[in-house]
Copies of this chain bind each other. A is one copy, B any other.
Amino acid sequence: MTTQIETGVSLAVSTVIFALRPDPDTGLMTLWLPLVRRIREPYEGQWALPGGPLIAGEDLAASANHTLERTTGLTPKYLEQLYAFGAVDRSPDRVVSIVYWALVQSDEASRAIDGENIQWFPADQLPTLAFDHNTIVEYALWRLRNKMEYSRIAHAFLGETFTLAELREVHEAVLRKPIDPANFRRQILASRAVEPTGHCVTGTSHRPPRLYRYNTAVQFADQGPLTRSTGQDQSQELR
C-alpha cells in the first residue's frame, strides 16, 4: 500500500460550552449552549461552535480559551479536551478540529457577548449546524451525561457551596429526568462526594437548608495525570 502524507491539513480549536438555563416552555432547568453565526464560507450564515485556528505559540487549551473569550466573552473555569474530529469530508479543505468542552455557571453565562451573530440554543434542540458540529454536540452531551455518573462534574455548574436541592436540580437538568429527593440525598451522602459546610442558607425560611461543598479529599475519575491543579490551570496540558 502506498501512503501519502497529508500536507495541506490545518488545525482548528473549537469549544462546546454548556450552561443551565430555564426551558422557555416548561420552566425547568435545561442545558443550553452558545453558537456563533459564520460570516464567511464554507457554511456562511449557519450556526457553528465558537472556535478558530490554532494560535501561534499557544498550547491547545490556551488557544481554546483565547478563541472562546474573543468570540463569546466567556472564560470558563472548567475546560477539558473532548475529542479530535478529523473525518476527511468534514470540511471542503482538510481541517482537524481539536474540540474542548466547558461548563459555565448561569451568572457567568449571562455575561456572554450579546449580538446578532451569537445566540444561545437549547442543547437538545439545535438547528443544522456547520461542518460536523451536530455530531460534536451529540458526543459532548453523551460525555457530560456519562461523566455525571462517576465524577464531580456537576460542581462546575454550581458555586463553592450549594444545597442538596441545587445539586439535585443540576443532575435532573443534565440527565433530563426527575430524581427522587430522598434517594438522591442518601446516595450523594453515601458516596462522600460532598460534605456539610456547617452553615445554612440565610434569610429564607424557619428551616433553612444546609449548605454543602465538594469533598476534595475523595478521589474521583477526573482528568488524571493531565490535571495538576485546580481552576483555570486544569485545562492546561502537562508541559
Which positions in A face B, CB cutoff 8 Å? 1, 3-7, 9-11, 53-60, 66, 70, 81, 83-89, 94, 96, 98, 132, 135, 138-139, 142-143, 146, 149-150, 221, 224-226, 237-239
Please tell me if the beta carbons of A86 and B98 are within 8 angstroms of each other in the complex: yes
Please tell me if the beta carbons of A3 and B139 are within 8 angstroms of each other in the complex: no
Contact A89 to B55, CB < 8 A, known contacts A81-B84, A83-B81: no
Nearest chain B CB to A48 CB, angstrom units: 17
Please tell me if the beta carbons of B57 and A88 are within 8 angstroms of each other in the complex: yes
A89 to B9, CA, bound (A): 20
| B residues less than 8 Å from A56 (CB atoms) | 3-7, 94
A158 to B5, CA, bound (A): 35
| B residues less than 8 Å from A5 (CB atoms) | 53-56
Please tell me if the beta carbons of B6 and A86 are within 8 angstroms of each other in the complex: no
A11 to B8, CA, bound (A): 10
